Each structure stands twice: as C-alpha cells, then as structure tokens.
Structure 1
Amino acid sequence: MNETVDDPVLEHDIELFTRLLGDVLREHSRKRVLVVVERLREGFMQLREGEDETLRARLRARIEGLDPQTLAEVIRAFAIYFGLVNTAEELNAHLQRMARVSSGERLWRGSFDDTVRRLAADGVAPAPFQSLLEHLVYLPVFTAHPTEARRRTIAEIFRRIFLAGQDLHRHRLNDEEREDKLAEIRAQIQILWKTDEVRVHKPQVTDEVRQGLYFFRESLFGAVPEVYRILEKAVRRVHGAATAAAVPSLMRFGSWIGGDRDGNPFVCPETTELAVRMHAELALEHYLERVGRLQRMLSHSSALCEPAPAFLDSLDADEDYWVETMGQSLRRFLNEPYRRKLAMVAHRLEANLARVRARLAEAETLPAAGYCDARAFLVDLRLIRDSLIHHGDASAAAGPLHDLIRLVETFGFHLVQLDLRQESSRHTEAVAELFARQPGAPYYLAFDESQRLLALVEAIVHPQPFVIDKATLGAATRETLETFETIARARAEVGEQAIGQYVISMTHEASHVLEVMLLARLAGLAGRDRQGWFCTLQIAPLFETIDDLARIDAVMGRLFTDPTYRALLRASGDQQEVMLGYSDSCKDGGILASGWRLYEAQRKVIALADEHGVACRLFHGRGGTVGRGGGPTHEAILAQPADTVHGQIKFTEQGEVLSYRYANPETARYELTMGISGLIKASRCLIESAAPERAEDLEVMAELAAHGEAAYRALVGTEGLLDYFYACTPVDGIALLNIGSRPAHRSRGDRSLSSIRAIPWVFGWGQARLTLPGWFGIGTALARYRGDDPERLVRLRRMYGEWPFFRVLLSNTQMSLFKAEMAIAREYLRLADDPPRAAALLAHIEAEYRLTLSEVLAVTETDRLLADQPALRRSLLRRNRYLDPLNHIQVVLLERYRGEPEAEQREQWLDPLLRSINAIAAGMRNTG
C-alpha cells in the first residue's frame, strides 16, 4: 500500500525525528527494545503488502514472548513516534502556510484574505460587511470529557521540539549551529523517553481545570490578538484603509471544566467556585505581565508630546489614589504620564489578584478590589490608546497596547464563560422534594406535563414559593440548590460573564426547563420585583437522543408560548440558546440518523424562534471523532442548514482536539482563523437572502436516514452485540485509564447501551479498528436508496458536489472508513467469550464495511478513500506501520490481563495495557 511521497520536506523531518528517537532508544532503553520495534514494524509492513499467515503467526509469537516491562517500552517507543510524527506534520503545515504568506500568492481557502476577497468579488460592499462583522460571535467551549490521553508535561516537551524544528527550517544555520539544534531535539526526545506519559493517578477536576488553563497561558493569549491583526490586515488589503470595516472583538471562550456535573460525582459547588477563581487568577496574572511590559515601553515625556485632555483629566482624578492608596510621591513619573497611569493600572490589578487569591486560600478577610470590573480596566487602556493617537503616536497604540485591549475585550476578568450542566432528572427530583416538603402540596411526580408546567409557573411567580429548611432535605437536593447559590456568588465575585449557560442534558419536556428556572428563582437569579421581571441565568436545553431531536419544536414551542417563560427570557436578553447533542444521538440511532435529525432540528428551532421574535443561538456538542460530530470546523460550519447560523456559533472542543488545535499558538491561530472565516461565510444570510436547500435533497436525506437508522438499530439490537463490544474491545481498560475524572458509565454496574457514555463507546470501537460509529449504516442506506436506478446515483453525485452538508457527511465517512482495519479487528476475536457468535457479528460488520466502501466510492466517483485529501491520506498511511503492531500487542495484553486469576499477576499486565490504549489513541489521533 506504498504511495508516492510528494512532500519531501515533511518526510525528511519525520525521518530525522525517527532517527533521533532510534539513537535515544539505542542508548537508553533495554537492549532488545529497538530490535523488537524494528522487527515488528518491518514485519507488519510486509503484511500490508500481502497477507502471510505464517509471518503473522511468527510476529504474534514474538509479541507473546515478551515480558511486561519490555512490552511497555516497545509501546512507549511507538507512542513517542506518533507524537513526533504529529509534531512534524503540524510544524510543516505551519511552515507551508507561512511560505505562502511570504510569497504574496493567493492564500488558502478559509484564510481571511481569501474569504474577504471572495465576498468583495461577490459584491459585498464595506458597509454590509461591517454590519456582518458586528453580529459575529465565535465561541469555542473547552470540555474535559475523558478523552485526552496526553499529560501537560508531555505537551510541553513536544512544544520545545516544535520550536527547535522550526529553528532548523527558518534560520540560516552553519554546520555547528545545526548540530547544536539537532542535539537540542535529541535531548528533548531523551527527556520524553524518561518521562512517564501515563498518569500515575486519576486526575481530579482541579487537574482538568489546570489542563484547560494551559492552552490559554501557552497559546491563546498570544494567538488571539494575532488572529484579530490578520483579519484587520485582510480587510484593509481588500477594501482599502479609508473604507475598511472596523473589526470588533468577536471571539469569546467557554468552558465546562469544573461546571459539568452530569454523571460526574466529583464536580460539586465548591469545584465550580474554585474553577471560576482559577480562571480569574490566570487572566489577571497575564494582564499584569502585559501592563508591566507596556509600562517599560511607553516612556513618552510630557515635555515632548501633549497627551489628550481626557487622559490628563483621568490623571488628575486619580491623584488621591496615587498618593493615599499607593503611597507614591507626586514627583514619581511626573513627566512620564503613561508610566504614571500604568503604575496605577498595575496597582489596581494587583489588588484584584490579591482578592482572588485570598478567596482561593479561603481567607477570612478579603483585601479591597482595585477595579470594580473589567470595563473599568478597559476605560483606562482606551484612554491611553486614544491619547497616543491624539499626539501622533498611533503606531505605539497599535502594538502591544492594542493587543492587550483585544485580550480584555475577549477574556474580561473571567477568562471563560463557565457553563454548568446537569441531567434533567436531578432537577425533577429536587423540585419534587421541595413540593413534597410543603404542607398540603400535591405529589409533583404524579402530575402530567401540563400540570407540572402550571405548578412550576405558579411557584415562579409566587412571592415566596417554598419554606425551605435545608437540613431536612436530601443530600442531592441540597447540592442542587447550592449549585444555583454558587452561580449567584460567582457572578457577584468575578462578573456577570463568569457563568455562561446552564445546560440541561436529556431535556425531554418543557417542564425540564421550567424546573431549572424555578431553582434559579429560589437562588435569586430570576423572578419579579418592583421593576418587573429579571433573569440573570440563561438556560440551554440539550436535545441529544433521536426522539428528543425530533420533538425539539414541540418542547421549545411550548416554552416560547408560555407568558412567564417568555417574560423571563426577555429579561435575560431575549436570546435562547439551544444545545444539540451529537454524541448520544449517534450512539442512539447511528451516524446517518443523527446527522439528519440534527440538521432537521436546527431548521425547526430557528424557524420557531424567528416566528416568536426570539434570537436563537445553536450550541453544537461536537466530539473529537466523526462518530461524535467531529471533523474540520470550517467545513462543519458551512455544512449547517441555510439561514440558521445568524452570526453566532458555539461548539464544544473536547479531549484530544484541544491539544491538536490549541497546544501551539501557530496552529491555534490557523484553527481560529478557519473557524471564524467559516462563520463569516455561513452568516451571509444576515446581509442577503440565503438560497434554500433543494426540497428533493431533503427528501432523499430523510429516506437515507431512515434506512441508516434501521440498519444501525438492527446491529445494536442483535443478541450478543454488547457482549462482543465488552469482550473484543479494550473498553474495560479505558475505564481504568487515568485520563479523565468522569466515570465511563452513567450508572455503575449497568453495561447497557443507554448507560455507557458515548465517549468510551466510540473509543472502544476505534481502538479495535472498527470505528463503526462513524460509518455503520451508510452503505445500506445508499444501496437501498439507489438500487439499480442510475438516475438515483446521478442525484446522489449531484448532492455530493453541490450540498455542503452531504459532502461533509461523506468526507467524514471516508476518514472513518480509512481508519477501520477489518484484518486487525479479526485479531480481537481471540478475546471473545462466545467465538462463533462474535465471528458472525464481525462478519456482519465487515459486510456493511465493504458495502459502505463501495457505495461511498461510487457516489464520490473516486477509486480510493480520501482521494481529494492526499495530505490526510498520507498522514494516516504513515501511522499504520506502527499502529498494526500496537493492535496485536494490545490483544495479547488483554488476553494476559483478563486471563490472570491472581490480582498481583494481573496487575503486571495493566501498565503496558494502559500504555497501548494511549499509544493507539495517539496514532489514530482520536480517542472519543
């Protein structure tokens, strides 16, 4: 399966990194390790050229003859190789982009330059383009689902390798300098070899919060201002400086880390408070660092320039603060007004930071805050900027000062909007208990939906709905009430933006939303006072099963027509956020039904919101893999239904995706650019009419989805399928891997499809190289739809060529098919409890795989998968030479681990088993 290499620079870097890894293994590993690695790699490469059962048996015997420690080192060598390949690919992609920028040629599709030029060529003038920009909000939300297998320490080492590799390419080095740089890379690989990539302990939620903060500190604080700068340049280049649109700060960031309590017993009110404070601490620390640099830089003398009157007035107004609060001499910085102002800015920020740290330390007394909020900080920064421009120093205002203003506009003092999430039944139980504690109250759980809505509305509007004695309540209800009290405290402490949405997972009815509104009412977050209705909590219902997606309009329609809810929504800003669950809908009904129900749900809810005069923002709960809604962000945004992306997009960034997209600022800059340019294109409906989808295409998709769902449900409903899944994938090892605080199942001990979370469901199939959540049912659907009718095939081909939704669907399907390896999956049959039944199930899966492969190639009119994405195809191919032996090793480890009767003997196989899961995840660039 060798293919022509047309990227010699990348191949050279991979070869270089691999050679340096070999040097390190030769000197610092056990003597057999490098030999075993090479023999396995070469042997399995031969098997790729043609099946040889004798060779496969010989390789299997070699693996079975290795002791646990040697196996662990072999696996670590493979894992480091994958990390080095990932780094080389990321580095070379960045260098290629920079080369195109330097050459002055037309930039890539999705760049700001290309996007603004295309809109201008289509007749979009500066004024409507300005209007479009002012409506944009780009909001990625970082989550800590148990999918990120790489420790922060390992990420830092790979960052150093990335920078050293960049120096090799971008600097003119003599022989001695080049050798020094190679020695630096080799030293980092050596450190990597001697650093344990597997966590010794399962991470706590606070560890996950710190992991999330890493991406801001190391990458995003630098990347975000650069993204704005690149967009500004593109707009000026196309429209000219005189008429160019002003670029507003359109990025915001969210997080679920420390707020997502659905099924995670380790997220409690104290955890949420801690996360909010850690966010604020990092933002303030960074601002102080940048203010210090500005203070050293803006050394302007009032004898040589004349600051703006407004700025001088602010200095006069701050004189008492300077002397009394700071204790400074009037003579200090007497003739350096910007240094004087920035010294006061820094002092205020230090006071804010001291207050946050006192809360983190749970101090009894708190120091006074410097700034009341981030807006006051921005006022000072803008005064400095405007004054510099006033006396002709716009160039000084446009550099680091402008970057700091962008950061504060983006991150405030809160850094991220922390969303909270809880499963709907928890609220129902809490509300039922509150009703039950009131004298003469009816039994809430016995009510039908209409009765529940009536009871909830009456309680919300009542001046004092309940008399609550927390001491008499159950622990779960007390914690639920305390969560809402925590929200109120966090908003008061850090600012109104510290808390984002309250997400209700498994929203089945309108009452699930009003239950949360009632709980918010009890915490003082919503209600009615002398001024009328108020609401400071925004609620996002999450629709995540096939049935719930189909009923989204019924549930939201009931809410929009309820006068009380409508009044509260209006009081909160009249914007309704609705979250769509990709993961569970795919696990529930398969990839085709999930994709189509999500598409339909978006069209329904946006039309409904428009009908009721409500602004609606869709929140896409995407995962890293195709089976959980993953895929390139730019294409995913463009594939949304016409006229549904009204300038705003919000989506989750989960697990390994955070490392791949945001660990390096160079890549983060690219990913943010691609996402924002996709948002710009998808939001043209704000300034011009959107072309509607073809009715015929929608009908075809509905039919395809029905066929796909039937095929998928038939599979997961087959007797023994779940037994096959638990036996022939390493899902039991995944549950033990210290990569996340969340349990793998919603209910302990329940191994049903409804209990297992979507992440281990996708992760397990991926590890065994079946990847079926990303493709199963598509082949049957396409074959049943087109039958022997050539006109139907033509119709499918036109849909693929013209409809972004269908094109992205089949493009992502191709990636999932390419990562699947049926020959490897057959090796896992050795683990089956019921081999004949497992073999029959795999034969059924293989048949669908072959059918899907054939049908997809027929529709895309290509002779091989990913033909239109050669770089991705080569990337996946080069990993197979190491993935194949890893899968065989994993099968042996699972046999040993599960087969040992004694716990002590079994434990020796657990470490290499967990390492194999980590390594395969790194090789496939997918976990969950």
Structure 2
Amino acid sequence: MTDDLDQLDAALRRDIRRLGTQLGDTLVRQVGPDLLEQVEQVRTLARALREGDDSVGEELTDRLGNTDVVRAIELVRAFTTYFHLANTAEQVHRIDDLAENRTTRSKRIAETVSRLVELGFTPNDVAAAVNKVQLYPVFTAHPTEASRRSILDKLAEIALLIEQRMTENDEPVVTRIDRRIDELLDMIWQTDELRREKPDPVDEARSILYFLGEMLEEGVPELLDDIDAALRSLGFQLDAAAQPVRFGSWVGGDRDGNPNVKPQTTCEVLDFQRARALRLLVGEIEELSAELSIASAIRTISPELQAQLEADDENFPKVRARFRALSTGEPYRQRLAVMHQRLLEAAETPPGPRAYSRPSELTEDFDVLARSLEASGGSLIANGRLARVRRLVGLVGFHLATLDIRQHAAKHHATLSELFEAVGTDYAGLDKPGRAALLADELGSPRPLAAPQTGEADETRALFQVLRDRMDEHGDDIIESYIISMTQGVDDILAPAVLARDVGLIDLSAGIARLGFVPLFETIGDLQAIGPVLRELFAIPSYRALVELRGNVQEVMVGYSDSNKDGGITSSQWEIHKALRTISDVADESGIEITVFHGRGGTVGRGGGPTHAAILSQPAGAIRGAMKTTEQGEVIADKFGLPEIANRNLDLAFSAVV
C-alpha cells in the first residue's frame, strides 16, 4: 500500500512539475524571463522559510516589499495559476486512483447493500430502504468563490488532457497534448480571472449551475446506475418514482445572506434555472433519439404508442412530416421528435401552446415508450439510456434545482406589525406568546390582511406574491422550503406562514399548503430550546393542519456555523448532537416525520468536514431516510468540480445514509 501511494505521489509530482515548467514557458512568452526568474526566487525563498530556515525571512520580505504594483500582480497571478494547475492535477490523480480501486468507489453502494443483508435484513427491507433514501445537497453562494467560467472551462480541458497524457505512448500525440496545454495556459494568462464588477445573484447562479449541469450530465446518471445495479443484485430495481438524489440552491433565494436579493432577483434566477434544465433535457432527448433506431418492420409498437403517433399527425403536422421523411419506419424516433419539439416550446417566453406544462407530462411520455419496448422484446433497451433520461427528468424537473428562500425572522414581524396596525391591532406591542396566539388564529382564517404601506413591508409581501406567481406558472416543485433565520419561538415560524396565507399559498380551509416553513436554530441557546419550540408548534391546530397538508413532514434546520461562533467547536457539536436527539424524540411523540437540514459550513470551524463521516456520526434516529445539507460555495469546486469526483462524494454520502 505504501509503495502504491509512493508511486501515486511520484506520478502526481511529475505531472505538477511538468505543468509548472509549461507555466514557466508561458510567463516567458507573455511577460519575459525576468518574471520567471523572480517567481523562482520567491518560490525558493518561501520554501526554505517553510522548511525552517528563518535566515531567509528578511530577504523574502525585502524582495516582495521592493516589488512595484504591476509586478506584484503578475507574481500573484503566476502563483495562483500554478496552484490551479496543481489542484487540477491532483483531482485527475484522485480519479485515476479511484478507477484502480473500484471497490472503494462505485461499488460502495453494492457493498453497503450486501452488508445489510449479511446483518440479517431481508432483501425486501433493504430494497425498500434504498428506494426511500434521499440525498439532498443544497448549494450556497460564497463571496470569495469568484472563479469565472472562462477559467473553469480551460482548467476542465487541461484535466482531460492530463488524463489522456497519463496513458498515451505515441510521442506525436503527447506533443500535441502538450502543445494544447501551452495554448490553454497562454489563454488563461490573457484572461482576466476576476470580475471587475461585484457578481450579482444571477452571476452566482450561473457559477453554481455550471457545476450542477456537469454533475447531472455525467456524475449523477452513473450514481443512479450504481444504485439500480445494487438493487438488481437483490432481485429488485430502483423505483421509477424514486429520487435518490435531489439538488437545491440558495442562490437568488437567500435574503438573509445577501441583502441585494430582491423579488425580481428571485424571478431571474428561477427563469435562468428553468432555461438550463430544459437545455439539458433537450440534449438528452437528442442523444436518446440517436440510439432508438428500432424499426417497425422488425418490431411492432404498442397500441398506446400508435395512438400517440396518430395524435401527433394532427397536433404536430410539420414535425411529423419532417421526421417521417428522415426516420421512415422508426416510430420511437418520430415520437421523440415531437417530445423534443414540446420541450423547445416549453423553453420559449412565454411557453408555446403545445409545450409541456409539467415534468410529469414528459415522464408519462417516456413511460409509454418504455412499455412499448418491454412488450416487444426491448426490456434491456427500456432499462438503458431511456430509463436514465426518465430518472433525470424526475430529478431535475424543469427547474434543475429547488430554490430555497431564506429570510430573517425580524423582517416578517416588521411587515406584520404594519399589516395588523392597518386593522387596528398593536402587533408590535405584543410579547412572543401573544404574537404566537394571534398568528395561530390568523393562520386558520381565509381572510387576508390589509395591504402594506411602506417600501420594506411592501417588498416582503411582494416576495410572497412572486413565489405564488412563479409556482402557478411552473409548478410547486421549484420552491419547497421557506427558511426562517434566527428562529427563537413559535411566532417566528407562524409569521411567514400568515404572510403566505395572504397571497393564497396557504389556505387551510381549502386544503392548500404549497410552501413549507423551516425554522433555523442557530445559537447555542436556540439549539437548547429546540424541543419546547417544536412541541409548542405542533400543538397548534392550525399549524398541525398545515403540516398534514404537506404530507405530515416538517423540515427543521440546525446551524453549525453560528453555533460554532457562539459556543466554540466542542460546545457547538455537543449541543447539535443533543438537538438532533431531541428532534428524533419529538418526531416519535408527535407522529410527524421531521427532516433535518444540516447547515454545515465549508471549513471545520464552520461545521465542515468529510460528509461521509458526518453522516455516520449522527445519533440514532436522526436520519430517517433523507439527508439534506448545505454545500458551501468555497468547497463546491473541490467536491464537485469534475464529474468523477462528484460521483465519488455522492456515492459515499448516499451509502452512509443507507
């Protein structure tokens, strides 16, 4: 093992040295040999200082102190690019190491399933548990994660070239690879790696969706195949409706974390996510169509599919005429052409009259294709790429990732104070129990409050109207959770529920509860009070009715970062552990299924660390099939930057939840 690690380290060091040499050549071409000479001097002195030679400290300080601003920027850029290259090479070698040790990668799920059977669980119980498990990473923005896609794309290509070079023995091909890396390094040097304007939430969403799109195209489908294969080894399969992994985002919805997030911002981000999801699905259908060349002269199709094709003649005559000529006697391709057209029309603004209005309509069409294939000897085909694309639709819908909304509790109370004042109630003068009693009664009433009069209150109410409008237009799946920061009492949870009631998102008398409300407990004191708050909340008839309308599921979020700042790492972890046990007890007492949302930071000091170990360390009963956790912006590139690494991290996390 040590020899293997030494060989891996040696190969990695060779690649990093070669990339460093190529970067040095770029510095000479782009600036001159004097820059490379200074970079080497600084590197040598810094390394000596790090290794304990204190005598070079003053020389290093003098050299850097006497550097002008222009040269200082060039030095910083040179070292930054070097570290980007070193990180990229390390990721590639991590992937290569995983490929050589398959039992520690994609077979982790299979090993977990086999181990559970060995422990005495029946295959039926294991299959049921796996089909119920849901991993739910939620991506957040981070102000220091400013990498531009222009840089990320070039580094991604360099990663592919490094991987190709590792196994290439043809010298002319190696020369072409190195020539392309040189070209990319020159382009990186001539590309401004920083945005000159502060990124807005839409820019942040583009960055997040870059990683998410890459994962959904490659890493996630492989994960789903691994899960399905593990279940098939037991005589079962992954349910068509199962969602082993879902993705969420705070970008464009986190008002507490970014005051620049306005109602219009949320609209723009939701529209951007929708466009990206539809582009992804359009591409998948195009690839699927290239494969499904089944000829009607060789295999018959089901009456159900035949009826769809006949209806397409009337509803999509131009598409049918064009593809009947291109795909004569190939009914699956002809049907996919219409599905492709309906997705294109869904991407229009506004959507075309024949567009898919809901993802469920698309999955139903895929199910028709699958049933037809299975009835004519095509079960393997139906369970191949077709099944993978159908699962992908279930995961991404038409929104790619569910957008969470987060707002500080005080904002809701300020708005409600003005609304109640307009109807003659001194809301601001009430204590927390008084507010809770008033809001509990108000939640059960269908009567809306008066319209607000000031800008801040109007903006808060406008947010709920935006949520209502977008959910009406694109479906309730686009937004599920409304998170209340600094929750300290029942009134903090009831307040946004009443505001949602005012725009029709909640109407208990009509059986409507389209939005879930998630208390976020952040400080040590709030974590210690989590039991009394939840018990009081679930004892309120109007709120209990809301939870029942939401499938008898309540989400509760615990904050690792703020509790860490409040009480230190040890105290924070202990209080969170106790809070999770309390939540489990409350769930058992109330009969409500509670999903815990773990607000973990990227660093250890903010509650970060290996996800697999964190999941396994949860107290008994804390995880009940679902694991929702934040993925902070500063670690997204490292954990999800390459599809293979993303697959590895998701695989480990899913296995741990099982």
Question: What is the TM-score normalised by the length of structure 1?
Answer: 0.68
Alignment correspondent of 2:36? 34
Matching of residue 455 in structure 1 with residue 423 in structure 2: no
Matching of residue 282 in structure 1 with residue 262 in structure 2: no
Deviation at 1:257, TM superposition (A): 0.7
Contact (CA 8 Å) 2:219, 2:647: kept in 1 or not?
yes
Q: Given residue 145 of structure 1, which amino acid in structure 2 is its aligned partner?
A: H
Matching of residue 269 in structure 1 with residue 263 in structure 2: yes
Contact (CA 8 Å) 1:107, 1:114: kept in 2 or not?
no
Alignment correspondent of 1:705? none
Contact (CA 8 Å) 2:105, 2:651: kept in 1 or not?
no
Deviation at 1:114, TM superposition (A): 2.9
The 5 Å alignment of 1:262-661 reads 262-323=256-317, 328=321, 332=325, 333=327, 335-354=329-348, 357-358=349-350, 367-438=352-423, 441-468=424-451, 470=452, 473-529=453-509, 532-661=510-639
**Cα separation, partners in 2 of 1:50 and 1:286, compared to 1, 3 Å:** closer
* Separation of aligned partners in 2, 1:243 and 1:367: 40
* Separation of aligned partners in 1, 2:523 and 2:384: 48
* Separation of aligned partners in 2, 1:522 and 1:413: 27
Contact (CA 8 Å) 2:229, 2:237: kept in 1 or not?
no
Alignment correspondent of 2:145? 148
Deviation at 1:186, TM superposition (A): 2.1
Contact (CA 8 Å) 1:30, 1:70: kept in 2 or not?
no
SS at match of 1:503: strand
Matching of residue 64 in structure 1 with residue 68 in structure 2: no
Query: Which consecutive residues of structure 1, in runs of 5 or more, have no partner in the other structure?
Result: 359-365, 681-928
Deviation at 1:517, TM superposition (A): 0.8
* Separation of aligned partners in 1, 2:425 and 2:370: 62
Contact (CA 8 Å) 1:139, 1:252: kept in 2 or not?
yes
Q: Given residue 537 of structure 1, which amino acid in structure 2 is its aligned partner?
A: L
* Separation of aligned partners in 2, 1:399 and 1:261: 42
Contact (CA 8 Å) 2:320, 2:338: kept in 1 or not?
no
* Separation of aligned partners in 2, 1:29 and 1:395: 58
* Separation of aligned partners in 2, 1:326 and 1:305: 23
Deviation at 1:374, TM superposition (A): 0.6
Alignment correspondent of 1:739? none
Deviation at 1:295, TM superposition (A): 2.5
* Separation of aligned partners in 1, 2:140 and 2:406: 11
Aligned length in residues: 652
Alignment correspondent of 1:139? 136
Contact (CA 8 Å) 1:220, 1:668: kept in 2 or not?
no
Deviation at 1:108, TM superposition (A): 5.4
**Cα separation, partners in 2 of 1:421 and 1:649, compared to 1, 3 Å:** same
Of stretches 394-403 and 653-662 in structure 1, the one that deviates more from structure 2 is 394-403
Q: Given residue 179 of structure 1, which amino acid in structure 2 is its aligned partner?
A: T
Deviation at 1:91, TM superposition (A): 0.3
Q: Given residue 414 of structure 2, which amino acid in structure 1 is its aligned partner?
A: E
Deviation at 1:282, TM superposition (A): 1.1
* Separation of aligned partners in 2, 1:446 and 1:110: 60
Deviation at 1:30, TM superposition (A): 4.1
Residues 158-179 of structure 1 deviation map (CA, whole Å, 9 limit, x = unaligned): 1011000011123x43111111
**Cα separation, partners in 2 of 1:29 and 1:119, compared to 1, 3 Å:** farther
The 5 Å alignment of 1:748-897 reads none
Q: Given residue 276 of structure 1, which amino acid in structure 2 is its aligned partner?
A: L
Percent identity reads 36
* Separation of aligned partners in 1, 2:183 and 2:115: 47
Alignment correspondent of 2:10? 8
* Separation of aligned partners in 1, 2:49 and 2:641: 36
SS at match of 1:348: helix
Q: Given residue 395 of structure 1, which amino acid in structure 2 is its aligned partner?
A: L
Q: Given residue 460 of structure 1, which amino acid in structure 2 is its aligned partner?
A: L
Matching of residue 200 in structure 1 with residue 196 in structure 2: yes
Residues 155-214 of structure 1 deviation map (CA, whole Å, 9 limit, x = unaligned): 1111011000011123x4311111111121222222222222222111111111111221
Q: Given residue 664 of structure 1, which amino acid in structure 2 is its aligned partner?
A: L
Q: Given residue 116 of structure 1, which amino acid in structure 2 is its aligned partner?
A: V
* Separation of aligned partners in 2, 1:519 and 1:674: 40
Contact (CA 8 Å) 2:106, 2:226: kept in 1 or not?
no
Q: Given residue 258 of structure 2, which amino acid in structure 1 is its aligned partner?
A: N
Alignment correspondent of 1:875? none
Query: Which consecutive residues of structure 2, in runs of 5 or more, have no partner in the other structure?
Result: none
Q: Given residue 449 of structure 1, which amino acid in structure 2 is its aligned partner?
A: K
Q: Given residue 579 of structure 2, which amino acid in structure 1 is its aligned partner?
A: A
Residues 749-782 of structure 1 deviation map (CA, whole Å, 9 limit, x = unaligned): xxxxxxxxxxxxxxxxxxxxxxxxxxxxxxxxxx
Deviation at 1:29, TM superposition (A): 2.5
Deviation at 1:462, TM superposition (A): 2.9
Deviation at 1:535, TM superposition (A): 1.1
Deviation at 1:51, TM superposition (A): 4.2
**Cα separation, partners in 2 of 1:321 and 1:369, compared to 1, 3 Å:** closer
**Cα separation, partners in 2 of 1:461 and 1:150, compared to 1, 3 Å:** same
Alignment correspondent of 1:185? 181
SS at match of 2:449: coil
SS at match of 1:497: helix
Of stretches 201-210 and 449-458 in structure 1, the one that deviates more from structure 2 is 449-458
Contact (CA 8 Å) 1:126, 1:245: kept in 2 or not?
no
**Cα separation, partners in 2 of 1:273 and 1:246, compared to 1, 3 Å:** closer
Contact (CA 8 Å) 1:490, 1:499: kept in 2 or not?
no
